Amino acid sequence: MTEEKPATKEEIERQYRVIDQMLTMHSSLRDRMERRAFWLNTALIASSLFMTAFAFVGDDLLRSLSLDPAMTRFVLGLVAVLVLICSITEFRVDWRSVAGKHAEAVSRLATLKAKYRKSFTETGGDDPEKNAILTSEYDNIMSSLSAIPDRWFNALKAEHQFKLLLSERISRCPKTPRWFLRLQLRIEGIREAFQLRREHRYGKSGSGNKAA
């Protein structure tokens, strides 16, 4: 049985970066799921009230509103089917419950992040005993969190990295409107992407000429 090596300062710093990234990801997913649950629930309530109101409307009143009674009943029937489908969807996807799981992950990660920051402040990350305790808690929490869907991982990672860059830019230019700083970063990112593409393309053609 091999003895585990103590976590180094570099490893603790890596864990802290992972915690910070996961915190952003779970926060974003929590907010996204809460919004979906809110709008779906609101649409269901509004549709139900709409159908309830029209259920007691007589044919004479519908005609006075220039509405054909038969067609109106048919449309209400379609709306009822749509409401039923949306109700089943709400039950199946359970976005509010998913949001709750991500909210729990955010709470646990925020607490763990605070412990890492406190340890850095007290020891600078050079205390092997504290590093071992943090690593053990890190492993336990990471293994028990809700998984990040693969199809959203890269987009959420990009969102986290952009958040860090935006935070740094706001600190440097606090008087500049945030929308302008966001736009500035987006333009810089597009330029960098084109520059990398050019370097990659010319680098390949250059190496090909060299080989020839």
For tokens 């960098």, what's the residue?
Answer: 192
Indicate the pTM of the whole model: 0.76
Q: Which residue in this structure is represented by tokens 């009943």? A: 73
As a whole number, mean pLDDT of residues 56-60 equals 72
On whether residue 169 sits in a domain, the answer given is: no
CB 47 within 8 A of CB 57: no
- Where are the alpha helices (H) located in the chain, listed in sequence order? 9-55, 59-64, 69-93, 95-123, 128-144, 150-172, 178-211
- CB 21 within 8 Å of CB 111: no
- In whole angstroms, give the CA distance from residue 51 to residue 48: 5
Q: What is the pLDDT of residue 86?
A: 81
In a domain, 178, yes or no: no
Nearest to 79 by CA among 42, 38, 46: 46
Q: Amino acid identity, residue 30?
A: R
Span 182-194, pLDDT tens digits: 999 999 999 988 8
Residue 34 carries which side chain, given as an amino acid letter? Answer: E
Count of other CB atoms within 10 angstroms of residue 119: 19
Q: Which residue has the tokens 């300062």?
A: 9
For residue 122, what pLDDT is reported?
Answer: 87
**What's the number of domains the chain is made of?**
1
pLDDT in tens, 129-140: 889 999 999 999
Torsion angle, alpha carbons of 12, 189, 22, 172, to 10 = 70
Residue-number span of the structural domain to which 90 is assigned: 9-150
The mean per-residue pLDDT over the stretch 151-179 comes to 93
Query: In terms of pLDDT, which residue wins out, 30 or 8?
Result: 30
Q: Is the dihedral of CA 22, 114, 181, 192 positive or negative?
A: negative
Residue 202 lies in a domain: no
82 in any annotated domain: yes
